[in-house]
A and B are shown apart, each in its own frame.
Chain A
Amino acid sequence: MVEVTLWGALSQVAGGNSKVEVEAKDIRELFRKLAEQYPGLEPWIDRGIAVAIDGTIYRDTWSKELPPGAEIFLLPRLAGG
């Protein structure tokens, strides 16, 4: 079980929860279960969400494992210039 923190706009489509608990071993499973728990999140996941694991931001590596006790933070998927 990992605790996931959502940023403001995302928490609004997750029933107002800024923190949710999910049983997930990697980012792919995390997104799948979040979409099951909160269907409103699915279009956001499709548009792109980045996952910060202990401060390191992952945008595309959905196979990245979520270590037990790690801080998991969802962020908008940004681009640079």
Chain B
Amino acid sequence: MNFDPRFSGRKFASVGTRPIRPDGVDKVTGRARYGADFNMAGQLVGRVLRSPHAHAIIRKIDTSKAEALSGVKAVITAADLPDLTDGDAAMYDILDNCMARTKALYDGHAVAAVAAIDARTARQALKLIEVDYEVLPHVTDVDEAMAHHAPLINDTIFTEGLEQKPAKASNVTKRSQFGHGDVHQGFGAADFIVERSFKTEQTHQGYIEPHACVANVSTDGTADLWVCTQGHFVYRQHCAQLLGMEASKLRVTSSEIGGGFGGKTHVWAEPVALALSRKAGRPVKLVMTRDEVFRASGPTSATSIDVKIGARKDGTITAAEATLRYSAGPYAGSWAEIGAMTAFACYKLDNVKTVGYEVLVNRPKTAAYRAPSAPMAAFAVESAVDELAKEIGIDPVEFRIRNAAQEGTRSSYGPVYGPIGIGPTLEAVKNHAHMKAPLKANQGRGMACGFWFNFGGQTCVDLNIGMDGSVSLAVGTVDVGGSRASLSLVAAEELGIDYTQLKAVVADTSSLGYNDMTDGSRGTFSSSMATISAARNAIKILRERAAQMWDISVDDVVWEQGHAVAKGEKHGNLGKLSLKEIAAKSGTTGGPIAGHSELVADGAGVSFATHICDVEVDPETGSTRVIRYTVVQDAGKAVHPTYVEGQYQGGAAQGIGWALNEEYIYGKDGRLQNAGFLDYRIPVCSDLPMIDTQILEIPNPNHPYGVRGVGETSIVPPLAAIANAVSNAAGVRMTHIPMSPPRILAAIEAEREG
């Protein structure tokens, strides 16, 4: 990578402005095409048969009656998706999750699929498939799954991370541990200790657009896939591997995306649609229903967390410890490990220890949800921090400022921090008008901090200059939050042209080099770095072409504000050449002008946020309304401030839903009871106040413009901030998320009864 990513401290003309996004008009007029909006001639309808059991051996599947039904063109089972994973355990889990092989591991696990001429026929065919199940005992609760008597979900799992391999299989796939110092000694030095246990229920990302794709496998073995995804290049890799194809023979085009938040980083329906198309010899469209999205895509972990924090009278934390148990669904994951790494990352601690346990349960395979695992850990830790401040008698903001990590602090997960933004977000909150606003009866205020790592990754961008001087920008990171606008601003900044002269698109997998997912808050961070690099490469060519047009040395040509300028006294009479003028002559000066970039964007820089929340709790019903909410977060540099604010507001809104209402409810039979938006209640506009934002800009030293990722951190503090607000309003510490009205009422009544 011949590109210097270091922060340069330049002044900006385009970056930091707020133009309308290029995809905006199509989205508000209904023209934008999402996953289910693509159709092909001769297309069939795909439908999936799902297990009604939480845990069952599949003895036999008889598809003969379904296959005989008129209009059915293909029926598949696991036999049509043979194991080609070559010992790759993670890929095998993905394969098994797409189509159960020997056991159904959760309510909703796919066991067969059909492709038929219409939806009615496909539904009829599903009813004709006969599955002989041997129902097994199941477990859906994270704590119960760890008990010795719990039904074993996978008898080949022996807990990793223990000093000695255990003698017995268990549902705990891994133990991980982080920290430094001596917590026993630290607690010994404490004047006050708070020790609490917390629980959070499983939630779904709640994206409005369900998973949808159209697959078309040709008889020559090549294929096209049109799909709603956060990462079409990764989908191509996974689908190609699972179906035994060469990746280059599968072209994947990403549609517009109606929300992903980590939930569209894994394949579920796509390999099934491709296998159906391969068998039927026709295109197959497969769209999940909302019921299927809830039962069979990838929600976040349910958790059970114990926290212990000690501090001296002067407000210095002396020790902090947490044990975190995260559900992973029926396949191994690293969700508790992330929770253990992030739990105390906001604080300067001499003695800290966190232990994480990954726990198998008969629920859908856990997927990432926006700063995965961090919100639950922050809920537990920030609740205990608030309680400890109260016990000591220190203002909770002052307490956090006194213990906040800073440059040079050893993080709780290991390394020493460089320049970080937790201190500035806390100072901003301390001085924010929100903190001084009066509260009425039954109202409470809470605040909390949050941390997320942020990531970069493999990235590729093409920048093509048309003969009319307009510029096409082809990027490979799916636009989940306005990145086409941000990247256009970055290209405009580098080229010195107007934003309206550019058009950014998300290219398909056959048109651009490999790109990692849009995850880890990396879309704008990574692709802006590649866009800067591509634009600088294009400028080099523009200078060469101008030199040709002037018949002078390229060394005498500089690029200034969208123009080639000849420098030096001997070229004093030459006027500037605009990008448009150079482009118009490109056919005779060497052909098309373009800039390309392929790089690994690394050094994303960690991110911090602090949120303030006011709630009003009705003591008669336990109902809670969020009446004011403020997000303060470090963006490094806000390329398009409106879309940065949108990320802040979106994270807060999702966090409010998670904190107050959302939860997967399983019956004793192991079946999901509320697989729909009527019974799984996400917040709508009328539930929310205007969410205020304050963008801090502490430059990331590892990006030319100082950009940091902003997409995920905003969901980390809300659970804790709202829990602290509700606890202050209700006068009782809330320890179980969501704080739904029955839980709040029960807590108030328990407190009254002493």
Binding site for B on A (CB under 8 A): 5, 7-9, 12, 52, 54-61, 63-64, 71, 73, 75-76, 78-81
Please give, as numbers and ranges, the residues of chain B lying within 8 Å of A56 by CB-CB distance. Answer: 418, 603, 605, 702
| B519 near A79: Cβ-Cβ < 8 Å | yes
A59 adjacent to B455 (CB under 8 Å)? yes
Q: Which one, B364-372, B467-475, B630-638, is touching chain A?
A: B364-372
Q: With A58-B602, A59-B457, A60-B457 as given contacts, are A80 and B522 in contact (CB-CB < 8 Å)?
A: yes
**Known contacts A60-B602, A81-B370, then 6 further A-B pairs from the complex at CB < 8 Å, ordered by chain A residue:** A57-B604, A59-B602, A61-B602, A61-B603, A81-B369, A81-B519
- Contacts A56-B603, A59-B456, A60-B457; A80 near B262 (Cβ below 8 A): yes
Can you sample 14 A-B contacts with CB below 8 Å? A5-B414, A8-B177, A55-B415, A56-B418, A56-B603, A57-B453, A57-B606, A58-B602, A59-B457, A60-B600, A71-B416, A79-B372, A80-B372, A80-B522
Q: In the complex, which residue of chain B has the Cβ closest to the Cβ of A80?
A: B520
Q: Does B418 lie within 8 Å of A80, measured CB to CB?
A: no
Nearest 5 CB-CB pairs, A to B?
Answer: A81-B262, A80-B520, A81-B368, A52-B415, A73-B415
Residues in chain B near residue A64, CB distance under 8 A: 602
With A55-B416, A71-B416 known to touch, is A79 a contact of B602 (CB < 8 Å)? no
Within B355-377, which residues are at the interface with A (CB < 8 Å)? 367-372
Interface size class of B (residues with CB under 8 A): 35 or more
Known: A8-B161, A8-B178. A55 touches B417 (CB 8 A): yes
> Does B712 interact with chain A (Cβ within 8 Å)?
yes
> Interface on chain B toward A: helix, strand, loop, or mixed SS?
loop
Q: How many pairs, one residue from A and one from B, have CB atoms within 8 Å of each other in the complex?
A: 108
B261 touching A81, Cβ below 8 Å: yes
The answer to whether B453 and A80 have CB atoms under 8 Å apart is: yes
Known: A56-B605, A79-B455. A71 touches B519 (CB 8 A): no
Contact call B372/A81, Cβ cutoff below 8 A: yes
| B712 near A60: Cβ-Cβ < 8 Å | no
Contact A7 B178 (CB under 8 A): yes
B222 close to chain A: CB less than 8 A: no
Which residues in B have some Cβ–Cβ distance to A below 8 Å?
A: 1, 160-161, 163, 174, 176-178, 205, 261-263, 265, 334, 337-338, 341, 367-372, 411, 413-418, 452-458, 517, 519-522, 600, 602-606, 702, 712
Q: Which residues of A contact B176 (CB under 8 A)?
A: 7-9, 76
Chain B residues whose C-beta falls within 8 Å of the C-beta of A9 in the assembled complex: 160-161, 174, 176-177
Beta-carbon contact of A80 and B414 below 8 Å: no
| CB-defined contacts of B702 to chain A, threshold 8 Å | 56
A75 B415 Cβ-Cβ under 8 A: yes
A55→B334 CA distance, assembly (Å): 22
Q: With a CB–CB cut-off of 8 A, which chain A residues contact B265?
A: 79, 81
- Is B413's CB under 8 angstroms from A75's CB? yes
Please name the residue on chain A nearest to B521 by beta carbon: A80
Return A78 CB to nearest CB of chain B, in Å. Answer: 6
Nearest CB in chain A: distance from B107 CB, A: 24
Q: Which of B337, B414, B416, B418 has the most CB of A within 10 A?
A: B414
Check B602–A78 contact: CB distance below 8 A. Answer: no
Provide the residues of chain B in CB contact with A12, threshold 8 Å. 161, 163
A71 touching B415, Cβ below 8 Å:
yes
Nearest chain-A residue to B342 (Cβ)?
A: A78
Residues on the A chain within 8 Å of B369, using CB: 81
Report the minimum CB–CB distance from A23 to chain B (whole Å).
Answer: 21
Task: Please state if B338 and A78 are interface contacts (CB–CB under 8 Å).
Answer: yes
Chain A neighbourhood of B604, CB < 8 A: 57
- Which A residues are CB-close (under 8 A) to B413? 7, 75
Nearest chain B residue, comparing its CB with the CB of A71: B416
Minimum CB–CB distance for B234 against chain A, Å: 10
Q: Which residue of B lies closest to A73 (CB)?
A: B415
Q: Are B602's CB and A80's CB within 8 A?
A: no
Complex Cα distance A54/B416, Å?
A: 6
A35 to B454, CA, bound (A): 28
Q: How far, in angstroms, from A76 to B341 measured CA to CA in the complex?
A: 10
Contact call B603/A58, Cβ cutoff below 8 A: yes
Measured CA separation A68–B734 after assembly (Å): 49
Nearest chain B CB to A67 CB, angstrom units? 13
User: Which of chain A's residues has its CB closest to B520's CB?
Assistant: A80
Complex alpha-carbon distance, A5 and B179, angstroms: 12
Distance A12 CA – B415 CA, assembled complex (angstroms): 19
Chain A residue nearest to B709 (CB atoms) is A80
Check if B520 sits within 8 Å of A79, measured CB to CB.
Answer: yes
Cα distance A55–B406 when bound, in Å?
12
A60 to B600, CA, bound (A): 7
Contacts of A78 in B (CB 8 A): 334, 337-338, 341, 453, 455, 520
Indicate which residue in B368, B415, B603, B605 contacts A80 across the interface (CB closer than 8 Å).
B368
- Per the bound structure, the CA–CA distance linking A52 and B367 in Å amounts to 25
Query: How far does the alpha carbon of A62 sit from the alpha carbon of B416 in the complex, in Å?
Result: 20
Residue of B nearest to A8 (CB): B177
The smallest C-beta distance from A17 to any residue of chain B, in angstroms, reads: 14
Please name all residues of chain A whose beta carbon is closer than 8 Å to the beta carbon of B603 when the two chains form the complex: 56-58, 61
Best-buried of A55, A75, A76 by chain B (most CB within 10 Å): A55
Contact B452 A80 (CB under 8 A): yes
With most chain B CB atoms within 10 A of its CB, the pick from A7, A8, A54 is: A8
Of chain A, the residue at the smallest CB distance from B409 is A55
Q: Which of A9, A54, A73 has the most CB of B within 10 A?
A: A9
Write the chain A residue with the least CB distance to B163.
A12
Chain A residues near B416: list those with CB within 8 A: 54-55, 71
- Bound complex: CA A54 to CA B411 (Å): 11
A81–B177 Cα distance when bound, in Å, is 22
What CA separation (Å) do A43 and B327 show in the bound complex?
25
Most buried by A among B160, B367, B600: B600
**Least Cβ–Cβ distance between B742 and chain A, in angstroms:** 29
Determine the distance from Cα of A76 to Cα of B334 in the docked complex, in whole angstroms: 9
Q: Measured between alpha carbons, how far is A9 from B336 in the docked complex, in Å?
A: 14
Contact B371 A80, beta carbon cutoff 8 Å: yes
For the complex, give the distance between the alpha carbons of A63 and B418 in Å: 21
| Given known contacts A9-B161, A12-B161, A80 and B178 CB-to-CB distance under 8 angstroms | no
Cα distance A63–B600 when bound, in Å? 11
Best-buried of A52, A61, A79 by chain B (most CB within 10 Å): A79
Instruction: For A76, give the chain B residue with the smallest CB separation.
Output: B337
Residues of A within 8 A of B177 (CB): 8-9
Q: How many Å lie between the Cα of A32 and that of B454 in the bound state?
A: 27
With CB as the reference atom, state the residue of chain A lying closest to B605: A56
Contacts of B417 in A (CB 8 A): 55
Task: State the CA gap A29–B196 with chains docked (Å).
Answer: 45
Q: Taking CB as reference atom, which chain A residue is nearest B701? A: A56
Q: Which residues of B contact A54 (CB under 8 A)?
A: 415-416, 418
Instruction: With both chains docked as a complex, state the minimum distance between the C-beta of A70 and any C-beta of chain B, in angstroms.
Output: 10
CA of A52 to CA of B368 in the docked complex: distance in angstroms?
23
A60 nearest CB across to chain B (Å): 4
Contacting pair B520 A81 (CB below 8 A): yes
C-alpha spacing A7/B370, complex, angstroms: 24
Asked if residues A80 and B455 are in contact (CB atoms below 8 Å), the reply is yes
How many Å from the CB of B338 to the closest CB on chain A?
Answer: 6
Task: For residue B224, give the distance in angstroms from its CB to the closest CB of chain A.
Answer: 27
Chain B residue contacts of A7, Cβ below 8 A: 176, 178, 413-414
